[in-house]
């Protein structure tokens, strides 16, 4: 469903003087990453601050260009030509909800993607209300997303993504800012979703509950891929990975 083949990426895609180009290898924010996530799998993406988790999501969204390698979504290679079609299958929950919510009302944000996709207004409205209710934020529908608490924003952003019924969802820190009760709710909602999921998180308990597999990133490289419990219980390796 999601296949990365020797993916490398850098934020320094501008032309560089020869001297800088010679050291460009050290600028790689993603360094030769390969993995395959099967349909229906829930995979945790773990790594210290700055390890490259958000950058990997930006590459999957086609926002961060690759310097090497390929990304395949459902068998289709991600490129400028295919990005529009591929994006329809993918949902993103961004690390910063301000990057995702931009309308003046929460409800319009949740409705926006559906109308954009050409879903009939009445159907779209009922789906939007359902999604808000599922995440316990129906009462925030008329509020401005810019004047919500961090956790409220996070739940609304989750609703705006999940309402689209994507096949694959990339979650960047879905439990950040959430109080214990909202965390349990978000966790239950995410767990019940039948989609393929890749979840970047620092919350190892959350990852253990939701995921049957974990990928560990360190300085842009994939250093482990396996059972979350086995990986997280290995204190020696965890400290080596800066975790």
3-state secondary structure of 2: strand
- CA distances 136 to 19, 153, 182, 225, Å, are 55, 12, 9, 34
Please, what is the minimum distance in Å from the beta carbon of residue 200 to Mg ion?
6
Please, what is the minimum distance in Å from the beta carbon of residue 128 to ligand ATP?
29
First CA to last CA distance, the chain: 28
Please, what is the minimum distance in Å from the beta carbon of residue 63 to Mg ion?
13
* Residue closer to ligand ATP, measured from CB, 29 or 231: 29
CA distance 230 to 63: 33
Sheet of 221-226, strand order: 90-93, 168-172, 196-200, 42-46, 213-218, 221-226
CA distance 142 to 138: 9
- CA distances 79 to 1, 62, 76, 93, Å, are 16, 7, 9, 21
Q: How far is CA 43 from its chain centroid?
A: 11
CA distance 31 to 49: 16
Please, what is the minimum distance in Å from the beta carbon of residue 130 to ligand ATP?
31
Please, what is the minimum distance in Å from the beta carbon of residue 200 to ligand ATP?
7
* Residue closer to Mg ion, measured from CB, 26 or 49: 49
* Residue closer to ligand ATP, measured from CB, 32 or 82: 32
Binders of Mg ion among residues 1 to 60 (CB under 5 A) are 53-54
Binding site for ligand ATP (CB under 6 A): 11, 29, 47, 49-55, 95
Which among 75-83, 88-96, 98-106, 227-235 is the span making contact with Mg ion, rule CB under 5 A? Answer: 88-96
How many residues form the binding site for Mg ion (CB under 5 A)? Answer: 3
* Residue closer to Mg ion, measured from CB, 54 or 183: 54
* Residue closer to ligand ATP, measured from CB, 3 or 202: 202
* Residue closer to ligand ATP, measured from CB, 163 or 198: 198
Please, what is the minimum distance in Å from the beta carbon of residue 139 to ligand ATP?
30
The answer to whether the Cα torsion of 123, 154, 145, 161 is positive or negative is: negative
Q: Which one, of 40, 42, 113, lies nearest residue 74 by Cα? A: 40
Joined tokens for residue 173: 């820190």
Site of interaction with Mg ion (CB under 5 A): 53-54, 95
């Amino acid at each position: 469903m999601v296949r990365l083949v020797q993916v490398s990426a850098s934020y320094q895609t501008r032309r560089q003087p020869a001297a800088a180009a010679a050291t460009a290898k050290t600028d790689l924010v993603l360094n030769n990453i390969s993995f395959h996530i099967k349909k229906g799998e829930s995979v945790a993406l773990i790594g210290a601050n700055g390890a490259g988790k958000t950058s990997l999501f930006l590459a999957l969204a086609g926002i961060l260009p690759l310097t090497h390698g390929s990304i395949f979504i459902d068998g289709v290679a991600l490129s400028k030509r295919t990005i529009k079609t591929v994006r329809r299958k993918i949902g993103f929950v961004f690390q910063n909800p301000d990057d995702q919510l931009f309308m003046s009302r929460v409800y319009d944000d949740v409705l926006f993607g559906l109308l954009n996709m050409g879903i009939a207004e009445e159907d779209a409205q009922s789906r939007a209300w359902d999604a808000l209710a599922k995440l316990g934020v129906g009462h925030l529908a008329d509020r401005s997303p810019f004047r919500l608490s961090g956790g409220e924003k996070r739940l609304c952003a989750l609703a705006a993504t999940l309402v689209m019924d994507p096949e694959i969802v990339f979650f960047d820190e879905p439990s950040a800012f959430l109080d214990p009760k909202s965390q349990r709710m978000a966790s239950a909602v995410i767990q019940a979703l039948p989609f393929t999921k890749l979840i970047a998180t620092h919350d190892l308990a959350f990852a253990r509950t939701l995921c049957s597999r974990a990928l560990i990133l360190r300085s842009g490289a994939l250093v482990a891929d396996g059972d979350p419990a086995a990986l997280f219980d290995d204190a020696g390796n965890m400290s080596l990975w800066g975790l």
